[in-house]
Amino acid sequence: MMTSLHRRLQPRDLLRVQMADDPQISPDGTQVAWVHTWMDGATNTYRSVVCVTDATTNSVQRMTGAAGLNTHPRWSPDGRSLAYLTTRPPDADAATPPQLCVMPATGGEPVVLTRLKHGAAEPVWSPDGRRIAFTTLIDPAVGLESIASTPDDDSDPYARFNRDVHIARRRRWKMDGFGCLGELRRAVGLAEVLEGRATATALVAGGDYDLHTPVWSPDGLWLAAVGNLDVDA
């Protein structure tokens, strides 16, 4: 009698699933940066690391640590640096919203370019490799906020007990993977990069509207973004 080698799928089999996505080919075509994601059963969370595969030898180098989520690898135009997003910056003691970092393409210590209260997304290098545009959430009345720039003030009981109250004044009041947006809008920011280090972070465009998917003009003088500037768009 033949014995079947098949068995029923078990819930913990999901923890064996390994995912590879967001492949990015280096400017010289010899390497591919990508994201390796898996599920951590001990903490009931996802984890991801940025990896680089040599297109000739198929050897794989893990570029980032395994703590948190490390995503969106983007090559600098000269191929010497790799920008990415991480929820565990090397200088942070705990998880944060995704922050923009840059590291040598050969590996090494990353440099944190942003420390924004609402994190960064959609990084894209300028043609000259000196700037990285990104999107972030802002309160239009405040602008860019750093993680440590707005500490909670518990001296006012009204503010203390209403801190977690969300007020919705528009139809798009929440977003998958983020939650309630409140008065936040998506804007375009810019990080100046000099020899792998941030020299300045600024808000390029933002207001009572949402902008996303920034792209550079070939001469690096303009940024285009998708949005709708109409009231209650």
- Nearest CA to 187 out of 126, 116, 130 is that of 116
- The whole-number pLDDT of residue 149 equals 55
Mean pLDDT in order along the chain per 10 residues (233 residues): 74 91 97 96 92 96 92 97 93 87 93 93 96 94 81 74 79 80 90 75 90 96 94 73
φ/ψ bin of 72: left (φ > 0), alpha (ψ from -120 to 50), beta (otherwise): left
- The whole-number pLDDT of residue 183 equals 83
- The whole-number pLDDT of residue 99 equals 95
3-state secondary structure 164-180: CCCCCCCCCCEECCCEE
φ/ψ bin of 143: left (φ > 0), alpha (ψ from -120 to 50), beta (otherwise): left
- The whole-number pLDDT of residue 198 equals 61
- The whole-number pLDDT of residue 162 equals 80
